[in-house]
């Protein structure tokens, strides 16, 4: 399917404007009297555009470049045959480059991976080399200028490889970023980008005034690395394009890192600098972006796993939760029926009705509260750090787990210090607690009835709150005290081995830690810490 007419027209206009502006810039970046520009952006712009759009829309890009090409070159007084020949060689370069990249990777995403970027660099080099044979031959056929064939070929290869490395990735990196995504860049990142830009300007103005053959070309390196590692391909390509324009413009004006020597040697110095620096920088930026992408994918996976684990905990407590909801519903039903019976019997009076209605209200609120807790636990939502009343979280988890505990003959003991406010995600705190409580119950499956006691203790410990879940079960083998927090480690028949591992990641993410120890009198205690909301959290306690 072709892109819609509006999108196709927009693409054509952008390519036309980009190509024309690139050609004008190319003329500016030419060291006269040399016939070939240091950097010839139009081909690279077309290459970038081809990589941005699906193959079925390539014809729009190629056609849109034609009027821009004619407009820019005929204006310079070049014969029509030569202008059309250059159009053919320019398009052949872009098509070969984009075709090679697309043969191995999928469009713009290619430049986000190291492998894709290496493919792109190789494709850009091969395309420049191959198309330069055609280009030089056409120049000779048209009898344009007197530069020998191989010299022409060599100059064009250098110029076009440098152009492809500077311009095409810039077009791809910025072209694929959606408008809303760019508008959503956080302020600290914008400030950092501004500092980076200021650093690059300072390097150009100060670093390049140093009279040294190696200090000046190396001076921007730290800033380019900064751009690549912190801002990926978008940052690296923008910074590198800025440095490229400054280097060429400076060389033309007799200022900067490459200003000495003849126009030809200066051109070669700048091009070799751009090619070598560009290759390294682009690979580094792609590797950094790939790592960041992998990290993001891992974060999403971890988030989903957390949610799945929470649902698993709820699944284990399902019977208990159903019991907790049924209790107030049963009381409401009983009270309503009593009120109806009183009405039928004509024995209703305000004194009898008021406590019945009050009980119905209270039980209703209790059911709503339980449902709210369950909904919160089940909800898919990003972590939200807030000031959390720890005792409330403990009460919520123990109340959901109470029927299960009773069924297993386990007495739950809540030894919570009140008014202990911590900084964390309330749902994550409940998830960790529920995990520990369920584990502690499981550990007491074989315990004697009188030993079936589960104690949750919360107390302040310096700037942290300590939450301990103590059981009187079979304890933990000393060699496994650390292992139990590893992923997929389980001693249960039907355990996934993820509960404690996820608990540890949740606790660590909130700035706390978690550990297990055996009790002197039998059983085990798992303790985790959460930072207090503020030092004066216990004010009044």
Site residues (vs another protein, CB under 8 A): 319-320, 322-324, 326-335, 337-338, 341-342, 355-356, 359, 362-363, 366, 403, 406-407, 409, 411
Nearer to another protein, 154 or 323 (CB): 323
Element (H, E) at 380: none
CA 439 to CA 331: how far, in whole Å?
31
**454 beta partners:** 412
Three-state DSSP state, 32: coil
Residue 529 CB, nearest distance to another protein (Å)? Answer: 30
Nearer to another protein, 236 or 447 (CB): 447
Please name which of 516, 390, 540 lies closest in space to residue 465, comparing C-alpha atoms.
390
DSSP 523: S
**Alpha-carbon distance values, 71 to 42, 65, 68, 89, 302 (Å):** 13, 10, 5, 17, 55
Residue 444 CB, nearest distance to another protein (Å)? Answer: 16
Residue 443 CB, nearest distance to another protein (Å)? Answer: 20
Nearer to another protein, 359 or 517 (CB): 359
**Alpha-carbon distance values, 67 to 15, 78, 134 (Å):** 10, 15, 21
Nearer to another protein, 264 or 341 (CB): 341
Answer positive or negative: Cα dihedral of 123, 125, 129, 134. Answer: positive
Residue 404 CB, nearest distance to another protein (Å)? Answer: 9
226: tokens are 């900064």
Residue 447 CB, nearest distance to another protein (Å)? Answer: 16
Nearer to another protein, 280 or 331 (CB): 331
Residue 333 CB, nearest distance to another protein (Å)? Answer: 5
**φ, ψ (nearest 5 deg) of residue 464:** -120, 160
End-to-end CA gap in the chain? 70
**Alpha-carbon distance values, 344 to 167, 419, 500 (Å):** 87, 48, 57
Residue 352 CB, nearest distance to another protein (Å)? Answer: 9
Nearer to another protein, 202 or 329 (CB): 329
Residue 325 CB, nearest distance to another protein (Å)? Answer: 8
29: tokens are 């970046």
Nearer to another protein, 319 or 384 (CB): 319
21: tokens are 């502006």
Nearer to another protein, 82 or 338 (CB): 338
Buried b (16+ CB within 10 A) or exposed e, 69-82: beebbeeeeeeeeb
């Amino acid at each position: 399917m072709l892109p819609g007419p509006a999108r196709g027209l927009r693409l054509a206009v952008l390519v036309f404007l980009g190509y024309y502006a690139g050609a004008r810039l190319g003329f500016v970046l030419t060291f006269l009297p040399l016939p070939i520009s240091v950097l010839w952006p139009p081909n690279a712009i077309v290459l970038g555009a081809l990589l941005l759009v699906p193959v079925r829309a390539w014809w729009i890009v190629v056609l849109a470049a034609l009027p821009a090409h004619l407009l820019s070159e005929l204006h310079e007084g070049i014969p029509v045959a030569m202008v059309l020949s250059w159009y053919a060689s320019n398009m052949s370069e872009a098509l070969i480059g984009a075709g090679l990249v697309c043969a191995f990777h999928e469009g713009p995403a290619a430049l986000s991976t190291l492998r894709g970027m290496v493919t792109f660099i190789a494709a850009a080099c091969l395309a420049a080399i191959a198309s330069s044979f055609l280009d030089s031959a056409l120049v000779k056929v048209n009898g344009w200028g007197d530069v020998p064939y191989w010299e022409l070929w060599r100059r064009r290869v250098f110029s076009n490889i440098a152009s492809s490395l500077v311009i095409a990735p810039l077009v791809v990196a910025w072209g694929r970023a959606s408008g809303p995504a760019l508008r959503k860049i956080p302020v600290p990142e914008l400030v950092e980008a501004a500092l980076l830009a200021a650093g690059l300007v300072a390097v150009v103005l100060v670093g390049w005034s140093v009279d040294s053959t190696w200090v000046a070309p190396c001076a921007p390196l730290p800033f380019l690395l900064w751009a690549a590692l912190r801002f990926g391909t978008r940052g690296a390509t923008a910074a590198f394009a800025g440095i490229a324009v400054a280097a060429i413009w400076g060389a033309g004006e007799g200022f900067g890192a490459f200003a000495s020597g003849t126009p030809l040697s200066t051109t070669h110095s700048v091009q070799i600098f751009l090619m070598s620096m560009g290759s390294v920088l682009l690979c580094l930026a792609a590797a950094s972006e790939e790592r960041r992408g992998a990290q993001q994918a891992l974060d999403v996976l971890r988030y989903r796993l957390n949610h799945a684990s929470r649902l698993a905990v709820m699944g284990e407590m399902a019977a208990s939760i159903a019991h907790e909801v049924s209790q107030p519903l049963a009381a409401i039903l009983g009270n309503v029926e009593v009120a109806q019976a009183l009405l039928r019997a004509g024995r209703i009076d305000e004194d009898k009705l008021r406590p019945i209605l009050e009980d119905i209200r209270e039980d209703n609120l209790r059911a709503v509260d339980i449902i709210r807790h369950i909904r919160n636990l089940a909800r898919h939502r990003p972590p939200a750090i807030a000031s959390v009343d720890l005792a409330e979280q403990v009460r919520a988890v123990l109340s959901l787990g109470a029927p299960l505990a009773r069924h297993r003959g386990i007495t739950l003991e809540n030894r919570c210090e009140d008014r202990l406010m911590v900084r964390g995600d309330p749902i994550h705190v409940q998830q960790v607690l529920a995990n520990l409580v369920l584990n502690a119950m499981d550990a007491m499956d074989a315990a004697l009835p009188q030993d079936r006691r589960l104690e949750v203790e919360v107390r302040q410990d310096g700037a942290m709150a300590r939450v301990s879940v103590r059981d009187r079960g079979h304890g933990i083998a000393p060699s496994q005290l650390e292992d139990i927090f590893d992923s997929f480690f389980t001693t249960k028949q039907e355990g996934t081995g993820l509960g404690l591992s996820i608990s540890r990641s949740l606790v660590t993410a909130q700035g706390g830690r978690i550990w297990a120890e055996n009790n002197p009198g039998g059983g085990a205690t798992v303790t985790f810490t959460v930072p207090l909301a503020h030092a004066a959290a216990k004010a009044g306690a």
